[in-house]
Amino acid sequence: MTVGVESSPGQVAAAFRSWSDAFGKAMQDGDGAAVLGLLDADCWWRDLLALSWDLGTYHGTERISGLLDDHLKRAGVTDLTVVTDFGPRFVAEDDGGGTIEGFFTFQTPQAWCRGVARIRQVDGVWRAWTVMTGMEDLKGHERALGARRPTGPRHEVGATTQRNWKDQREASAAYRDRDPEVVVLGAGQGGLALAANLRLMGVDALVLEKSGRIGDGWRKRYHSLVLHDPVWADHLPYLPFPQSWPIYSAKDKIADWFEFYAQAMELNVWCSADMTAAAYDEASRRWTLTVQTPQGERTITTRDVVLATGAAGEPNVPDFPGRDRFEGTVYHSSRHGSGGDWSGRKAVVVGACNSGHDIAQDLYEAGADVTLVQRSSTHIISQVHGIPAIFGANFTEAGPPTECSDLLASAFPWPLVLEAAKQGVKDTAEKDAALLSSLEAVGFKLNDGPDGTGLMGFALAKGGGYYIDVGASGLIATGRIALAQGSGLAEFTESGIRLADGRELDADLVVLATGYSNMRETARRLFGSEVADKLPLVLGVGADGEIGGLYRRTGQDGFWYMGGPLAWVRIYSKHLALQITADQAGISPS
């Protein structure tokens, strides 16, 4: 039966069910050859723990055959069933063809799982173009959601203060007579989303936050900051924003929401907590951590440590010569609070990516005389055209429920995301043509990202390197923010900076918007080189099609990285929590 845009939902569902029935049988039989027969030769398979207990992307018959040979029989897949609360649905493509995308559930002896397939009709036969198999819950450690929610304290005769919820929460968070099973460093979105998942899986996690308040990671950023991503991409797991939430969140609003989230999800967080020493004992497989808190020093022993101190890494502050003789103020962009203090004064912002542009705009709006230094080139998109192109139709008001959008997103492997991004970059550049040419007219240099993949390519490679225009480009194009293009900061002078080509710029303030170094350097500073040398770099899409370092084993037993944009942490915090929970319960395969 040919299925197309004109087909009824029943016809679409029947075609998907027919493919899924054959797929489910082949999976249950452990028959790799039969599974391969249901896949396109160009198929992409992403396994998120369900078969391999790892995150991995497999492209083409040979690699998928390897996945199935290694894991299919042992995985023990049963009960593959199509889910119909959303989809299957036909998604038309520009060439007149299309795919049916649909969801299914299945189980293995250890886990409840979900999957997504996108199937295409080639010569009358339905074959899968993408398959995702993902673990949802470990059996015996299912997340305490819905029917599994806790009873909560009850007002029975004889109830004591122990039954008071507040007393219980305070005792739980104090860790007076026990150690946590997991310590998470950092109560940003990554740390909080992970802690929420661990708690729901029954794992006792303590989050240590260096700052005074949850949400300070956003709160302490520059005054004018507003999130780039729209609300539909930004929900934290298990607690969606209210329907009145604005499309773009101001930084203080999201910071306060994080604080509320930690309370509502009953997360144990110590603020103003600074881990000053860490040692791993191979024999007992335990970390011993020394933590300075406002109540004094604590020594904590724990099985797993998660570094969630910011996936973008440590502020990169190059040691430019002459800094001591400069009479003005210098700081890294991460320390910029508000432009207000610099009204009527000269500011130079070194670095022309997101922070550089936003800070230059903030300083300009505060009445400073601002120059932006651009050494090489920058990828620019307008927020209005570029962001919808990146998120597509799934993260919009009319899009699928977040849970389905997340499954669809995780069923689209990163190499395909990057490939698809190229067209989005071209389309956005056409829409932004006037903006881009006005920038080029003043000598601003543009690029279209690594291999033409734009913002997505930069975000995956290093978490930055682009600017989403919310006004600074217009200020540069009209000369209201001056541009010093083509040369980088070489040294400080008494009254400002000298660029490598000899140009001198006077400044009362120099902001170094010079980016961040890899998160592995944070691990090195906190855990020492012996640990850091075993760890992968964070970010970058590796040969296995996955993001470097995040959400999976790192090479150091009991050490994990967590972090990233809200959409990533919402999706992958569950997978990291599943791996930690399985390790803690002793059910991970060796």
User: Binding segment for ligand FAD among 221-229, 388-396, 405-413, 572-580 (CB under 6 A)?
Assistant: 221-229
3-class SS letters over 358-377: HHHHHHHHCCCEEEEEECCC
The yes or no reply on residue 358 touching ligand FAD (CB under 6 A) is yes
* Bridging pattern class, strands 296-302 and 286-293: antiparallel
CB of 556 to ligand FAD, least distance (A): 17
CA dist 55 and 52 (Å) reads: 8
In whole angstroms, the minimum distance from the beta carbon of 563 to ligand FAD comes to: 3
Q: For residues 489 and 483, what is the distance between their CA atoms, to the nearest angstrom?
A: 13
Pairing of strands 55-59, 314-315: unpaired
101, 179, 216, 406: which one binds ligand FAD (CB under 6 A): 216
* Residue 549 contacts ligand FAD per CB under 6 A: no
Contact 297, 577 (CB under 8 A): no
- What is the nearest approach in angstroms of ligand FAD to the Cβ of residue 186? 3
- For the stretch 292-315, what's the b/e string if a residue is b when 16 or more beta carbons lie within 10 angstroms of its beta carbon? beeeeebebebbbbbbbbbbbbbb
- Rule CB under 6 A: say whether 471 interacts with ligand FAD: no
> Which C-beta is closer to ligand FAD: that of 189 or that of 371?
189
d(CA 208, CA 203): 16
Q: Which stretch binds ligand FAD (CB under 6 A): 290-298, 352-360, 434-442, 575-583?
A: 352-360
Q: Which of 68, 308, 360, 571 binds ligand FAD (CB under 6 A)?
A: 308
Q: Which of 311, 411, 475, 507 touches ligand FAD by CB under 6 A?
A: 311
Handedness of CA 140, 144, 147, 153 (dihedral sign): positive
The number of helices, as runs of H, and strands, as runs of E, in the chain is 18, 27
Smallest separation, CB 387 to ligand FAD (Å): 9
Q: Which is nearer to ligand FAD, 132 or 566 (CB)?
A: 566
Q: Helix or strand or coil: residue 306?
A: strand
- Amino acid present at 100: I
Which residue's structure tokens are 């190499």? 415
369: β partners: 346
Segment contacting ligand FAD by CB under 6 A, of 111-119, 489-497, 549-557, 564-572:
564-572
The rounded distance, in Å, linking the Cα atoms of 324 and 308 is 33
Select from 108, 110, 133, 189 the one that contacts ligand FAD (CB under 6 A): 189
Contact segment (CB under 6 A) with ligand FAD among 195-203, 208-216, 449-457, 474-482 equals 208-216
C-alpha span between 440 and 437 (Å, rounded): 5
Q: Is 206 in the site for ligand FAD (CB under 6 A)?
A: no
- 497 sits in the region (left: phi over 0; alpha: psi -120 to 50; else beta) called beta
Between 64 and 184, name the residue whose CB sits nearer to ligand FAD.
Answer: 184
Indicate which single residue of 305, 509, 532, 566 sits in contact with ligand FAD (rule: CB under 6 A): 566
Residue 316 beta carbon to ligand FAD: minimum distance, rounded to whole angstroms: 14
Q: Is 211 in the site for ligand FAD (CB under 6 A)?
A: yes
**Region binding ligand FAD by CB under 6 A among candidate stretches 51-59, 203-211, 319-327, 366-374:** 203-211
CB of 185 to ligand FAD, least distance (A): 4
Closest CB to ligand FAD among 187 and 578? Answer: 187
Q: Is 272 exposed, middle or buried (0-12, 13-18, 19+ CB in 10 A)?
A: middle
Alpha-carbon gap, residue 133 to 46, rounded angstroms: 6
- Shortest approach of ligand FAD to residue 257 CB, angstroms? 13
Q: With contact defined as beta carbons under 8 Å apart, do 545 and 415 qualify?
A: yes
Q: Given candidates 229, 304, 365, 546, which one binds ligand FAD under the rule CB under 6 A?
A: 229
**Binding of residue 188 to ligand FAD (CB under 6 A):** yes
User: Is residue 88 reached through a cis peptide bond, with omega within 30 degrees of 0 on the bond before it?
Assistant: yes
Verify binding: residue 227, ligand FAD, rule CB under 6 A. Answer: yes
Residue from 217, 454, 515, 558 touching ligand FAD (CB under 6 A): that is: 217
Among 266, 392, 565, 585, indicate the residue that binds ligand FAD (CB under 6 A).
565
Asked if 186 is part of the footprint of ligand FAD (rule: CB under 6 A), the reply reads yes
Please tell me what DSSP assigns to residue 237: T
Please identify which residue in 185, 373, 439, 497 interacts with ligand FAD, judged by CB under 6 A.
185
Long-range contacts of 566-569 (CB under 8 A, 24+ apart): 566/189, 566/229, 566/233, 566/234, 566/235, 566/236, 567/229, 567/233, 567/234, 567/395, 567/406, 567/409, 569/189, 569/190, 569/193, 569/194, 569/236
Read off the tokens for 408. Answer: 């669809």
User: Nearest approach, Cβ of 255 to ligand FAD (angstroms)?
Assistant: 9
Looking at 498, 564, 570, 579, which residue binds ligand FAD (CB under 6 A)? Answer: 564
3-class secondary-structure state, position 2: coil
Instruction: Give me the DSSP letters along 469-538.
Output: ESSHHHHHHTTSSEEEES--EEEE-SSEEEETTS-EEE-SEEEE---EE-HHHHHHHHH-HHHHTTSPPS
Q: Write the DSSP assignment of 55-119 as a string of letters.
A: EEEEEHHHHHHHHHHHHHHHHT-EEEEEE-SS--EEEE-TTS-EEEEEEEEEE-SSEEEEEEEEE
User: Are 483 and 360 in contact, with CB atoms under 8 Å apart?
Assistant: no
Q: How far is the CB of 229 from ligand FAD (least distance, A)?
A: 3
CB-nearer residue toward ligand FAD: 210 or 223: 210
For β-strands 55-59 and 39-48, DSSP reports them as antiparallel
Nearest distance from residue 400's CB to ligand FAD, in Å? 20
199 part of the interface to ligand FAD, by CB under 6 A: no
In whole angstroms, the minimum distance from the beta carbon of 463 to ligand FAD comes to 7
What is the torsional sign of CA 150, 156, 162, 168? positive
Whose CB is nearest to ligand FAD? 188
Chain residues 478-517 in contact with ligand FAD, contact rule CB under 6 A: none
Binding-residue total with ligand FAD (CB under 6 A): 30
Among 16, 514, 563, 572, binds ligand FAD (CB under 6 A): 563
Least distance from ligand FAD to the Cβ atom of residue 579, Å? 18
Between residue 86 and residue 145, which ones bind ligand FAD under the rule CB under 6 A? Answer: none
Of 188 and 339, which has the nearer Cβ to ligand FAD? 188
* Residue closer to ligand FAD (CB basis): 1 or 384: 384
Q: Which stretches of the chain bind ligand FAD, using CB under 6 A?
A: 185-191, 208-211, 216-217, 225, 227-229, 275, 308-311, 354-355, 358, 526, 563-566
